Structure 1
Amino acid sequence: MHKDQTLKLAVPAASPAGNVVVAMLFVGLMFFILGCATWLNGSLIPFLKIVCNLNNFQSLWVTFAFYIAYTLMALPSAAVLRRVGYKNGMSLGLAIMGLGALLFIPAARSSWYSLFLLALFTLASGMTLMQTAINPYIVCIGARESAAMRISIMGFFNKTAGVLVPLAFSSMMLSGISRYSDAALATLDAAASAALRSELGQRLEFPYAAMAAGLFAIAVVVRFSPLREIPEEAEVGGHSGSHWGVLQFPQLVLGALALFVYVGVEVIAGDTIGLYGRSLRVENFGVLTSYTMAFMMAGYVVGIVAVPRWLSQKHALLLSALCGMVFSFGVTQASSAGSALSSAMLGWAGVPAVPDTVMFLAMLGFANALVWPAIWPLALNGLGKYTASGSALLIMGIAGGALLPMIYGHLSDLSSSQAAYWVLLPCYA
């Protein structure tokens, strides 16, 4: 694309408070939608493991198909945004997500795992376009030093969906799930077992059809919304003639590497907890992702209150890594039989107790909460005309969510589900 067509962002010289509030409401809605689609995977993985008769490694192809789309589609998404703008890009992303949701209908009818994976890839492709647009948008809509606070607010929308969606999925999809336990299916012949799995898979048709309708409707609303484009920024001094493009910015490259390992551990914490709980025969395994998301919401509250007033974005990042190491050690070393930790922390609220090691895995949500909000403004600082391309590079770092859970799944099949969580420690380190 020609140089003068490169989309560039800046903090507006005058940004009326009303415009910022309207923009944050619309972007908050989109973060909620992204959360619905993303954190449904934690409940979908053990569900598809039953429907398609998979082992742990095979079932985690769900995360691979979903998150690899971010790597493959990030640069095309940046090109689309340069051509159509951020507002139209958001609307187009929602429409592509709707198409992915529609693909779940033939997948559910056929119980064909490859079609489920194609549907997930399509859904995530639309999300990639959305993420490439809304993350730099929310960074650039106000002062940079408070960007982590704004992203924390958006993360609160995202993780609210992460709490609610597994609960809704469990109530709709997992009723009478004991009929589909490994022990129950083992008593049936091959034909009867396949018929029962197919019957379970067809439960997905209505919720994904409703999701598709909602996504198409919101795409139209966003297209005709009052969201404005961010004005262009002047050339960044000293960088305009570089042949390295976005790679000349070390903060961006390091940010992409940090996002790679961060998204990997976030997905492991959020999407494997249901599998792990099922392996420990936790009765409410279908809603365990909600535990992780609830802790993330608590972390976002800390970010909203403390950043930048008492905690800088850099120190928030360091504190998150240290907490992640402590909780990861707890996951691998805590008891899988006792539940004293969850009883002490959540028993007062009437939340069902879970094994201590599951509780430490859920607490990783708190450690992960401020990583994404801290990395984005730090990595995009000073990029000027390279902001759109830099955003695409950061989005490509989401590939960690495709690859690291696969490593976990392979290790869990070779050894044990609990021992495989050692993969978390070097990532946080």
Structure 2
Amino acid sequence: MSNQPPKAASYKVAFVLITSLFFIWAFLHNINPILIPHLKKACQLTDLQSSFIDTAVYLGYFIIALPAGWFMHKYGYKKGILFGLILYAIGAALFIPAASARSYNFFLVALFIIASGATFLETVANPYITKLGDKASSEQRLNFAQSFNGVGAFIAPIIGGQFILSGIEHTPRELQNFSPEQLNNYLSFEANSIKIPYMVITGVVLLVALFFVFTRLPEIVEEDIEDDGHGHKSFSLKIFRHRHVTWAVIAEFFYVGAQVGVGSFFIRFSRFTMGLPEKEAAYLWGFIAMVGFMLGRFAGTFFMRYVKPSKLLSLYAVINIVLLIIALMAFGKIAVYSLLAVPFFMSIMFPTIFALGIKGLGEESKIASSFLVMSIVGGAIIPPIMGQISDKTGSIQMAYIVPLLCFVFVLYFGWKGYKFVEPKTVVV
């Protein structure tokens, strides 16, 4: 018989299950670089149309984050997780009829539903992980769980490239020479290649949901928030009376924008500064930058045993600012490898900002979590700004001043913005 207290044992089981969710939503975000070229072929899209794949995902996060927080506030963590997994599975299953119809709009609806489910999972899992143990180690615990987000970031494009991309590419001139029947067969073949992978994804997500159904998760008892005078707890924008929540949302917005922007334009940056072919640049991003991102999560978890999370966050922000200054001023390998080093130091930022942003909130951490997840919309806003700068200046390198400025906001949060200050009570 184990000498371990039942509570500690149940926390370990819950931690393992919740950590699996981090991999699931990482898969969604990091399969998009595969879906964009694949659906561009299968549905005969322009580059602008194919970019709506990212739009569908980020829009899902932005629209669903608050409803997810309200749902969790009313029904609790476990039901929020189950609802999120069911939505995710429904969206993945819809890829099958979307492929049969070869309808891009259908694919976008399916992606929006998957993203909605992932929003529930992320809104629930991030704060729940911080509650499964000692408050003092909440940032370290969340960073460790987020390390498996890094694993998903590394594995998703490999699996997608292997089982979704056919490797068959025809020029527009070649397609024009196809008969209508040949063209239809080719496009149907490309569209249908997505069916089996998404059937597997649907099955895996439903299996994870079954584990949650039959597992008793520990109830997290949190302090009640103030009553509104009618027997209801307040659950509104009043969360922003906490200064550190406001700064966490701002920092998370700029961090996510920087993360997406740095990666989205890396291939073009490499061509501009070093003349690197796109396939080689993609290889470097996958096997150096994203592996570095994954390892950075595990390393950050270790470093937090000895360095306060806020100080480590500030240090990493400074390092990324320096790396981006080098990337802006240098050319050749120095510029490219400076940029490749950035993801290692980005790795701890999202979970650390998140954990510091909800610290000391009790029950209000649920609504704060919703706003922090909503801030992922930065990933839909910052990259177009970079694109605009590139178009105006003719230099994609110059556009990297935008993520540099984004990391200044992260630095401020780690320096001062994270500090919890008890809101003043107004006596009437």
TM-score > 0.5 by shorter chain? yes
Higher RCO structure, 1 or 2 (CA under 8 Å, sep 6+): 1
Per-residue deviation at 1:383? Answer: 1.7
Counterpart selection for 1:223 from 213, 225, 239? 213
The reply to whether residue 428 of structure 1 matches residue 418 of structure 2 is: no
Counterpart selection for 1:269 from 259, 262, 273? 262
**CA gap 1:109/1:242 in 2 versus in 1, 3 angstroms:** closer
The one-letter code of the counterpart of 1:74 is: A
Query: Which stretch shifts more, 412-421 or 222-231?
Result: 412-421
Q: How does 1:341-380 map to 2 (within 5 A)?
A: 357=336, 359-380=337-358
Cross-structure match for 1:344:
none
The reply to whether residue 253 of structure 1 matches residue 246 of structure 2 is: yes
**CA gap 1:62/1:411 in 2 versus in 1, 3 angstroms:** farther
**CA gap 1:106/1:69 in 2 versus in 1, 3 angstroms:** same
Report Cα offsets for 1:37-77 as digits up to 9, x if no partner: 22112332333344445555443322221012112111111
Query: Which stretch shifts more, 102-111 or 89-98?
Result: 102-111
Cross-structure match for 1:188:
175
The reply to whether residue 33 of structure 1 matches residue 24 of structure 2 is: yes
Task: Give the gaps of 5 or more residues in structure 1.
Answer: 1-13, 342-355
Report if aligned partners of 1:64, 1:401 keep a CA contact under 8 Å in 2. Answer: no
Report if aligned partners of 1:46, 1:274 keep a CA contact under 8 Å in 2. Answer: no
The reply to whether residue 137 of structure 1 matches residue 128 of structure 2 is: yes
The reply to whether residue 319 of structure 1 matches residue 315 of structure 2 is: yes
Equivalent pairs counted in the alignment come to 391
Q: Partners in 2 of 1:420 and 1:56 — Cα distance?
A: 20
Q: How does 1:84-99 map to 2 (within 5 A)?
A: 84-99=75-90
Cross-structure match for 1:352:
none
**CA gap 1:202/1:244 in 2 versus in 1, 3 angstroms:** closer
The one-letter code of the counterpart of 1:305 is: F
Per-residue deviation at 1:289? Answer: 4.0
Per-residue deviation at 1:369? Answer: 0.8
Per-residue deviation at 1:360? Answer: 4.0
TM-score (norm 2): 0.81
The one-letter code of the counterpart of 2:259 is: E
Q: Partners in 2 of 1:254 and 1:144 — Cα distance?
A: 21
**CA gap 1:277/1:223 in 2 versus in 1, 3 angstroms:** farther
The one-letter code of the counterpart of 1:168 is: I
Q: Partners in 2 of 1:119 and 1:50 — Cα distance?
A: 18
The reply to whether residue 202 of structure 1 matches residue 198 of structure 2 is: no
CA RMSD of aligned residues (A): 3.0
The one-letter code of the counterpart of 2:372 is: L
SS of aligned partner of 1:295: helix
Cross-structure match for 2:421:
none
**CA gap 1:98/1:406 in 2 versus in 1, 3 angstroms:** farther
Q: How does 1:361-400 map to 2 (within 5 A)?
A: 361-400=339-378
Report if aligned partners of 1:100, 1:122 keep a CA contact under 8 Å in 2. Answer: yes
Per-residue deviation at 1:153? Answer: 0.9
Report if aligned partners of 1:42, 1:289 keep a CA contact under 8 Å in 2. Answer: no
Q: Greater Rg, structure 1 or structure 2?
A: 2
Report Cα offsets for 1:317-359 as digits up to 9, x if no partner: 2122222223334444554xx5x56xxxxxxxxxxxxxx62x4
Report if aligned partners of 1:296, 1:368 keep a CA contact under 8 Å in 2. Answer: yes
